[in-house]
Amino acid sequence: MKKRRRNFIKILIFKTIFLFSLTKSYSDNKFYAKKILDKKTFKKFVWYLDKNDK
Amino acid sequence: MIHKNIKELVGKSFPVIIVGSGPAGITLALSLEKRKIDCLIIEAGREEYSDESQENYAAKIIGDQITDLRYSRLRQLGGTSGHWGGWCKPIEKWNIKKWGIEYDSFSKLKEQTCEILEIENNFQQSKISNYYSQIQFQYSKVRFADKYKNHLSSSKYIHLLVDAQATHLSGENKKFESISVSQNDENIILKSNFFILCAGGIENSRILLWSKEKDNSLINNDLPIGKYWITHPWIIGGIGFLYKSKIKKILNENFINYDGPMHFATNKELVNEKKILSGAMYMNAKEDTKLYKEIVKDFLCVAPEYGKKIAKSIFGKDLKCGNIFMNLEEPPKETNKITLDRKIIDKNGVPITNLYYKKSKETLNSAKTILVELGKLFIEKDIGRIALKSEIENLESYENLGVHHHMGGTRIGNNFKTSVVDSNLKLHDLKNCFILGSSVFPTGGYSNPTFSIVQLALRLAKHLEPQII
């Protein structure tokens, strides 16, 4: 019984770590997708712009 | 008292001999004077600037070229404080941690340092985001020669010998006993109980290297003397514009409003998370209205609608526009080093300096990351927009506008193979030699070095006084 409970806790911890790592990369992607930088090169300079900068 | 002829000092000895009369040497001598401790300062240059004296600073730079060492430092009373920029800021706590010295022993000397440099003890730092802060520098107008010359000439305890070059140290049993001094083909030997080298970020290493060549048995062979030399690459990373009012809105009462350009710096969170080196930035174009217009014109081509908005506010004081100047940290590398030339010697017979220097990829990478993250912040908070120089965006190279800060070569540490002095600035394995100045910096951070040099001088005086009295 004790062994089962320990195994269950172990799996729970690993799953949580796994899910957290996914969430982090997902949120990074989301950030870039939302705030994304539109880069425009002009006269040897690369401008970092918002996609809505017209 | 000021001595101009070495003959006046023949046969004399002093409790303390200090080599170099820059901010480090003078601050230390003044602190010792307060405890009525006699000392002699040996200055290689004259009381005033002279081209002839500067020529003795000729050196070979091998690798990436940097500012000629005859022009980036001054060989005269007061040292390089005779032409320094005056920008002052204490080094951050998280950077001091890397030095292995107690932060409190350093930070408690801030007020005293500000008095010497005649600046306000106000170095506000306001977080704009997790990654960046607005930072505050103070501007010092102190020239050590102008400020202290009269005092030095009338002092009972401080003896100043000018126009005389300290060439090398000699001694035995892990102790230096004397220093050789040359002036116009005449040489004398002066004895002392304590020797403090305060000759700057190049000469401290050179004197030690030459002393080692003269007597190989005295200085530990493991010590990396001259190695891990660093500077602050000063570059233009790009161009941009920002609205001052938007930064004010983010920072509210923490906004730092003072004359001069607005300075930003990386927080330790950015440095740690992105694994980069630190840096400080400021945007400046006030003196160049043509550049101001050029940037707005360029932006009109990149984003016409937004550009029109900018163009309308060009005459307002709210819009800041210009080059993005960056002061960057460099990684200490064993291969960036000071050695002695094998063929050319100066007029006193000491080999000239060879400085091996290569720009680092880490610095370039850091410059890009700092700018990219700043660009994102500007977009996210709608502060303004920036553009990176394409060679930085493509990680090709960066151009040094000038290299004036010479650091490293006799760095602090515990390990004999990676450091030269201990946390009290004592030369490893020798009883009575201390090194003072930017040459002991193990890392450079982004802050200008003079403030930290004066702090170190006050700290060393406190350490030395009980040993001398």
> What single letter denotes the amino acid at residue B398?
Y
How far lies B23's CA from each of A34, B286, B405, in Å?
51, 31, 14
Q: Which residues pair with B353 in a beta bridge?
A: B59, B340
Q: What is the pTM of this model?
A: 0.90
Token output for B125: 């730092």
Q: Inform me whether the pLDDT recorded for B221 exceeds 90.
A: yes
Token output for B371: 């700018």
Across the interface, of A37, A45, A50, the residue whose CB is closest to B389 is: A45
Helices (H) and strands (E) in chain A, counts: 1, 2
Contact state of A46 with B380 under an 8 Å Cβ cutoff: no
Q: ipTM higher than 0.85?
A: yes
Chain B segment 363-402 residues within 8 A of A by beta carbon are 372, 375-376, 378-380, 385-391, 393
d(CA B407, CA B329): 11
Quick: pLDDT tens for B54-75: 988 999 999 999 999 998 899 9
DSSP string covering B36-53 = T--EEEE-SSBSS--HHH
Quick: pLDDT tens for B404-460: 999 999 999 999 999 999 999 999 999 999 999 999 999 999 999 999 999 999 999
Catalogue the E-assigned strands of B68-221.
87-88, 125-127, 132-135, 138-139, 158-161, 165-172, 175-183, 186-197
CA distance A9 to chain B (A): 30
Chain A segment 28-47 residues within 8 A of B by beta carbon are 35, 37, 40-47
How far the first Cα of chain A sits from its last, in Å, is 65
Domains of chain A, residue spans: 2-50
Q: What is the predicted pLDDT for the residue at B286?
A: 61
Q: Inform me whether the pLDDT recorded for B260 exceeds 80.
A: no
Contact state of B390 with A45 under an 8 Å Cβ cutoff: yes
Residue-level length of chain B: 469
Set out the domains of chain B in order of their start, with CATH numbers: 2-86+141-232+333-358+406-468 (3.50.50.60), 234-329+362-393 (no CATH)
Q: What is the predicted pLDDT for the residue at A36?
A: 57
Quick: pLDDT tens for A12-43: 787 776 666 555 444 444 444 445 578 888 88
